[in-house]
């Protein structure tokens, strides 16, 4: 059955390669990008596979734009089978947004949480939410999450990825009927612009990540995995950072994320 799949950050790196693989399988894609020209060029290339391709433009560091994009998708699409929250940032020039939030948390945590919440009405109970986590996970500092404390790039990235992993887990607990919500570390240091710019290295075969994201989106092995974390470095479901298993801390972090996105719900 042809799926309707939305992929954020689909014009570069892992998102672009995953979009290519899913288009070649014949699925209908909604590809997100920030840059209009790159988005149009990516859509044109993907349409060569014969797949139906729709574009969705937004700067994920601006939650107003995220909400506008989500509402356009809800208005235009009969359903959404899969949401792959792929887009992420590590190193940025100025890490603060106009309203004083840490851009790494906005793009890596708040935007996926907001998209998930707004797109839920058109997702079937057997749909999939695939949130990109990371092997890099660090305890979430609520002052950093709320923009009151500045962090170095890697620390902010690691905290934002654990925050998203915690959000995915909490969402699954609150929606036992579905859709399935999983957090996936696609593999460490894959050959993406983020890795080249952040670590000065070419990186590992990007198809390692493409394979696991395709499986997470489509395969039966993830159909009953809601709330779980898949570590593709270990090639198995695993436990995330221990903060994700501390109920009081989980509740506090999820509450803080909800408060941050509430204005756009």
Catalytic, out of 157, 181, 229, 230: 157
Grade residue 221 by pLDDT with cuts at 50, 70 and 90. Answer: very high
3 state SS for the chain: CCCEEEECCCCCHHHHHHHHHHHHCCCEEEEEECCHHHHHHHHHHHHCCCCCEEEEECCCCCHHHHHHHHHHHHHHCCCCCEEEECCCCCCCCCCECCCCCEHHHHHHHHHHHHHHHHHHHHCCCCCEEEEECCCCCCCCCHHHHCCCCCCCHHHHHHHHHHHHHHHHHHHHHHCCCCCEEEEEECCCCECCHHHHHHHCCCCECCHHHHHHHHHHHHCHHHCCCCCCEEECCCCEEECCCHHHHCHHHHHHHHHHHHHHHHHHC
Sketch out the chain's domains with CATH numbers: 4-264 (3.40.50.720)
Catalytic, out of 133, 160, 168, 226: 133
Total residues found in the chain within this entry: 265
pLDDT of residue 198: 59
Catalytic, out of 161, 168, 181, 230: 161
User: Across residues 228-236, what is the average pLDDT?
Assistant: 96
157 given a catalytic annotation = yes
| pLDDT surpassing 60 at residue 195 | no
pLDDT of residue 98: 87
What are 126-141's pLDDT values in tens digits?
999 999 999 999 999 9
161 given a catalytic annotation = yes
Q: Which residue has the higher pLDDT, 125 or 198?
A: 125
Grade residue 165 by pLDDT with cuts at 50, 70 and 90. Answer: very high
Per cent of the chain over pLDDT 90 is 88
CB 114 within 8 A of CB 262: no
133 given a catalytic annotation = yes
User: Across residues 108-114, what is the average pLDDT?
Assistant: 99
Q: What is d(CA 156, CA 132) in angstroms, rounded to the nearest whole number?
A: 15
Among the listed residues 15, 28, 10, 8, the one whose alpha carbon sits nearest the alpha carbon of residue 79? 28
């Amino acid at each position: 059955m042809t799926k309707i799949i939305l992929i954020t950050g689909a014009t570069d790196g892992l998102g672009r390669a995953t979009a290519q693989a899913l288009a070649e399988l014949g699925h209908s894609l909604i590809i997100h990008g920030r840059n209009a020209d790159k988005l149009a060029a990516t859509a044109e290339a993907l349409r060569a596979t014969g797949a139906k391709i729709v574009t969705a433009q937004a700067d994920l560091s601006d939650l107003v734009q995220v909400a506008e994009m989500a509402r356009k998708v809800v208005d235009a699409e009969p359903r959404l089978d899969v949401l792959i929250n792929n887009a992420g940032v590590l190193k940025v020039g100025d890490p603060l947004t106009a309203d004083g939030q840490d851009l790494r948390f906005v793009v890596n945590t708040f935007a996926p949480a907001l998209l998930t919440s707004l797109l839920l009405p058109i997702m079937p109970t057997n749909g999939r939410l695939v949130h990109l986590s990371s092997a890099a996970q660090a305890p979430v500092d609520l002052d950093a999450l709320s923009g009151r404390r500045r962090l170095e790039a890697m620390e902010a990235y690691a905290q934002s990825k654990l925050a998203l992993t915690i959000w995915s887990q909490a969402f699954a607990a609150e929606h036992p009927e579905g859709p399935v919500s999983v957090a996936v570390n696609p593999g460490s240091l894959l050959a993406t612009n983020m890795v080249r710019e952040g670590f000065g290295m070419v990186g590992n075969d990007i198809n390692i990540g493409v394979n696991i994201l395709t499986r997470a989106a489509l395969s039966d092995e993830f159909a009953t995995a809601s709330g779980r974390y898949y570590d593709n470095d270990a090639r198995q479901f695993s436990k995330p950072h221990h903060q994700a298993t501390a109920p009081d801390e989980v509740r506090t972090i999820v509450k803080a994320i909800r408060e941050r996105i509430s204005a756009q719900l």
